[in-house]
Amino acid sequence: MTGTYLGMPAMPATPRMPAVPATPEVPSFPEAAREAVRDGVLRANLRHATHTIRDKRARAVAELADWDRLRAAGRAVKDHTLRHLDRYLLQLEEAVTAAGGTVHWAADADEANRIVTDLVRATGEREVVKVKSMATQEIGLNEALEAAGIAAYETDLAELIVQLGHDRPSHILVPAIHRNRAEIRDVFRTEMGRWGRPAPGSLGDDPRELAEAARLHLREKFLRAKVAVSGANFMVAETGTMVVLESEGNGRMCLTLPETLISVVGIEKVVPTFRDLEIFLQTLPRSSTAERMNPYTTMWTGTMKGDGPTAFHLVLLDNGRTDTLADETGRQALRCIRCSACLNVCPVYERAGGHAYGSVYPGPIGAILSPQLRGTARAIDASLPYASTLCGACYEVCPVAIDIPEVLVHLRERVAQGGPATRAGIRVTLRPADGHTAERAAMRAARLLLDHPGALRAGERLLARARRLAPRRLPGAGRAWTDSRELPTVPPESFRDWWAARERSTPR
Amino acid sequence: MSSKDRVLGRIRRALRDAAPEGEIPRDYLPVHGVRTPAARVDLLAAHLAEYRAVVHRTHEEALPALLTRLLDARGARSVLVPPGLPPHWLPAGGPTRVPDRAESTPYELDLVDSVVTGCALAVAETGTIVLDGGPDQGRRRITLIPDHHVCVIRVPDQVVDSVPQALPLLDPARPLTWISGPSATSDIELDRVEGVHGPRTLEVVLMGTQ
């Protein structure tokens, strides 16, 4: 719809938001990445953005002489909380309830979506405003609400760009990092009018103009909103306090103007004491946006008479987190405070972009978190632990010292060899992933040859003589390997033969 | 079995073999550097300005004249006033005073030009002001919807050095809003743009005693 803005929000008869494309058949990481690295615009957008933010971050971190100690403390607080997670969640529930809130427990995505849908229905409203939240993306809440006839409006600028563009987020902190200003202008011009106030006809591609268009478009939604849905960066067990860090004020709008506030939060987001925030309020902004402090932080405890929502619901989300907790090596992924510093330094993310990871958690943290939350049964999840060069840059920048390379290697082993894991709370023994059967057969053959030097020597000579016939690509199961690698050329003589000849001809 | 029991059961099974964890090291710094009260206020002013807040300095006697000038310069016709704002801060005859009332709708607040508040405290190292809904600050939304926020900080008393010094002074039972510069976004090519949904202009008045 185009035309002049007449002051009335242009609501379709039945509000239907552009849903994030459903992707039941997500391609594996190498397949998706191959597409992405061919996209020159995408690579340029990503390179510009990640390099800008990583340089700024390094300066912000260098300001604090005690960074390493803050990092160690953050890690220890998170480990301690995870070690006693049951106790802290019960304490949190008690504190939130005492402050006038209601706590709900959701074992999986479906249950969380059902709880939120029922809570929205109970208000009689058909639309909600949303603060950017990874947890609600993870469970597909917008799609679930849409199926129930409830429109969910994303209000973070980047999320709005993604939602209006029928796109998927590509970065934890800057979901529209893969879009440049010209692309954003086009999205605003064509899509805004379908969901509310249209963009001005003369809209240019200056970031100020684009932000202003978003301000006007969203303000009508903020002012009329009766129900909001958010996540939270932290929950304090001791006091029941919820904490949301943001920049634009869309968070404050959603957290304080509506009558009903529903927060969906992963169980790993709890910290024991109010004092613990002193660590994360120093490390999170510097690691994520490279600022000393983000422009706005909102903290609320239950409900406050006369100020803010009159009803507060907290939905505590498991959805694979307890399975992750059961893995001794992998559980450190639950320390993550979603700062996204690991994305910005990752050479693989920089080239492949966030979509290739097939998950709301892209980059190095996504490569270890998604296969743990979802299991490794699907091709994408089995491929994610390999979406890394193991260079270790992600570990270096992590403000809670998650040893991402260690977990990647651990998960590779699980994918290749199978073994014990926990799924939906039940101990299971995983079989090796299909794609790795050939690799294991090759390793068995190699062991046989290396254990029998005569056979190896004979094989090498045969190969050297037939080298003109050697293919550039391997056939059958080996093809996947040579698709992304050069097959080495076969030398005219094996090293062992060369060495033996050299020994014979060189006088001692 | 309820979902609560299911989740708690899973957690307990997951942790059955977990080793007891060590102590939480708290050897990080409570303050980064040693400052005189004046240097602390200077650092606050520098950090506020760096994130595009407009900083003014005055003393209590000159405050009404300064606030009048700031509101005039914006062309403000109405100003939101928290219930406990000292009456002498805003002289009579200025913009229409709009009281902070629970029954005001967001649409009504959207028509107000400016808001003047005090604060609970300010953090020099991060350039942050913290509001706790106290009588001189009002409800959270009044500093959010109008486009112009003037915040008065009593210096040096309300200024602390660091985040670790700020938290013990705050009451988590109150709604807390931490503000570091005006509303901003970097979502478009990481270009920082001030003023998205919150006030586009944040003016901070450092009010000392004469």
- Residue A172 CA to residue A193 CA, distance in Å, equals 27
Whether residues A90 and B8 touch (CB distance < 8 A) is answered with: yes
pLDDT in tens, A58-103: 999 999 999 999 999 999 999 999 999 999 999 999 999 999 999 9
Instruction: Tell me the shortest Cα–Cα distance from B195 to chain A, in angstroms.
Output: 7
Chain B residue with minimum CA distance to A46: B189
Say what the pTM is.
0.88
Q: Which of B187, B192, B193 to substitute to test the interface with A, most A CBs within 10 Å?
A: B187
Instruction: Give burial (CB, 10 Å; 0-12/13-18/19+) of A261.
Output: buried
Instruction: Count CB-CB contacts under 10 A for residue A425.
Output: 17
Instruction: Tell me the shortest Cα–Cα distance from B162 to chain A, in angstroms.
Output: 9
A282 in reach of chain B (CB within 8 A) = yes
Whether residues B8 and A161 touch (CB distance < 8 A) is answered with: no
A284 in reach of chain B (CB within 8 A) = no
Q: Please give the pLDDT value at position A4.
A: 39
Q: Which of A256, A305, A314, A426 to substitute to test the interface with B, most B CBs within 10 Å?
A: A256
pLDDT-derived band at B22, boundaries 50, 70, 90? confident
Residue A357: which of A327, A320, A388 has the closest Cα? A388
Whether residues A328 and B181 touch (CB distance < 8 A) is answered with: no
Distances (CA, A) of A199 to A9, A169, A224: 12, 22, 19
Do residues A385 and A368 lie in contact, with contact meaning Cβ atoms separated by under 8 Å?
Answer: yes
**In sequence order, which residues have a C-beta less than 8 Å from that of residue A251 and are 6 or more positions away?**
A131, A132, A156, A230, A244, A296, A298
pLDDT in tens, B79-128: 999 999 999 999 888 999 999 999 999 999 999 999 999 999 999 999 99
Instruction: Tell me the shortest Cα–Cα distance from B68 to chain A, in angstroms.
Output: 26
Q: Please give the pLDDT value at position A495.
A: 84
Whether residues B177 and A298 touch (CB distance < 8 A) is answered with: yes
Whether residues B32 and A63 touch (CB distance < 8 A) is answered with: yes
Q: Please give the pLDDT value at position A432.
A: 87
pLDDT exceeds 90 at position B188: no
0.95 surpassed by complex ipTM: yes
Instruction: Give burial (CB, 10 Å; 0-12/13-18/19+) of A22.
Output: exposed
Q: What are the structural domain ranges in chain B?
A: 34-185+192-208
A-chain CB neighbours of B133 within 8 Å are 304, 307
* Token couple for A33: 């990445």
B-chain CB neighbours of A218 within 8 Å are 197
Instruction: Tell me the shortest Cα–Cα distance from A226 to chain B, in angstroms.
Output: 11
pLDDT above 70 coverage of chain B, percent = 100
Q: Which of B197, B200, B202, B204 to substitute to test the interface with A, most A CBs within 10 Å?
A: B197
pLDDT in tens, A363-393: 999 999 999 999 999 999 999 999 999 999 9
The second-level CATH assignment, the architecture, of B34-185+192-208 is 3-Layer(aba) Sandwich (3.40)
Q: Please give the pLDDT value at position A443.
A: 64
B178 in reach of chain A (CB within 8 A) = yes
Whether residues B140 and A307 touch (CB distance < 8 A) is answered with: yes
Q: Which of A248, A289, A317 to substitute to test the interface with B, most B CBs within 10 Å?
A: A248
pLDDT exceeds 70 at position A185: yes
Q: Please give the pLDDT value at position A7.
A: 38
Instruction: Tell me the shortest Cα–Cα distance from A106 to chain B, in angstroms.
Output: 6
Beta strand A127-130 with B184-185 is: unpaired
Distances (CA, A) of A86 to A111, A241, A269, A332, B23: 20, 18, 13, 17, 19
| Helix A85-98 and helix A67-83, axial crossing angle in degrees, nearest 10 | 90
Whether residues B178 and A307 touch (CB distance < 8 A) is answered with: no
- Residue B59 CA to residue A110 CA, distance in Å, equals 58
Q: How many inter-chain contacts (A to B, CB under 8 Å) are there?
A: 241
Point out the residue among A155, A297, A322 whose CB comes nearest to the CB of B11: A322
Surface of B (71-100) touching A: CB under 8 A: none
Point out the residue among A48, A105, A328 whose CB comes nearest to the CB of B7: A105
pLDDT in tens, A285-301: 999 999 999 999 999 99
